[in-house]
Amino acid sequence: MIDLYTFTTPNGRKPAILLEELEMPYTIHSVNIGKGEQFDPDFLAISPNNKIPAIVDRDNDLAVFESGAILIYLAEKGGKLLPTETGDRIRTIEWLMFQMASVGPMFGQLGHFRNAAPEPVPYAIDRYEKEALRLLGVMESQLAKTPYLAGDYSIADIATFPWVAAAKTSYMGLTLDEFPQVQRWIEALKARPAVQVGMDVLKPNFSSQFGTVAELVA
């Protein structure tokens, strides 16, 4: 059994999607970052960086933090979505690291400066918008050659999708008109039942065969 500590953010949705793809039983524990719950000492014991998501694998009494590490761990545990052949495996990890090092941080900074900065910072918005568009261009070139980021559907796609799916929202304010392959890829992932369920994690309409939400303790 996996205990998933998460919230309704792009990073927080990644492991939920993968757990659904793996059909692996899990219990969801809400960590409301808007209320500062990530700084609770009990959560710090699981996630030393005070960031969601984190998991505890009760089968192995093992806690894992950082979303990329969680995806690798769960894929290996479930025996799916991370190839074992050396070349395919490193391609998948490359594109996973592309999300971790570039897509997540750059898209996240764009969203922050568009929506959360105490005052407008045009330079920052312009900088991060240009970088987000550049990264979409990198994806466009790759997806023109392969159906998914690393060839076959994998944890690299699962990691990247929640961020790119938010590109056209008012939070990010990007357009995908110049990226038809990215749009094709988005639609392919949106059609997957596991992705649909994982993206709804902790929403009122969340419904899963494999995941249950832990009751809040007063």
Here the CATH number for the domain that contains residue 109 is 1.20.1050.10
For residue 218, tell me if it sits in a domain.
Answer: no
* Percent of the chain residues past pLDDT 90, beyond the cut: 96
pLDDT the model gives residue 23: 98
The 8-class DSSP code of residue 203 comes to S
CB 112 within 8 A of CB 171: no
pLDDT the model gives residue 216: 57
Residues 97, 65 share a domain: no
**Positions of the chain with pLDDT lower than 50, given as ranges:** 217-218
Which structural domain, as residue segments, surrounds residue 22?
Answer: 2-81+195-213
CB 70 within 8 A of CB 198: no
Helix or strand run (H / E) with residue 55: strand 54-57
CA 142 to chain centre: 19
pLDDT the model gives residue 215: 75
pLDDT the model gives residue 45: 96
Q: What is the pLDDT of residues 115-171, one digit of tens each?
A: 999 999 999 999 999 999 999 999 999 999 999 999 999 999 999 999 999 998 888
pLDDT the model gives residue 16: 98
pLDDT the model gives residue 217: 47
CATH of the domain at 50: 3.40.30.10
For residue 160, tell me if it sits in a domain.
Answer: yes
Residues 184, 146 share a domain: yes
User: 176-179 long-range CB contacts below 8 Å, 24 or more apart?
Assistant: 176/136, 178/136, 178/137, 178/140, 179/136, 179/137, 179/139, 179/140
CB 80 within 8 A of CB 23: no
pLDDT the model gives residue 95: 98
pLDDT the model gives residue 218: 41
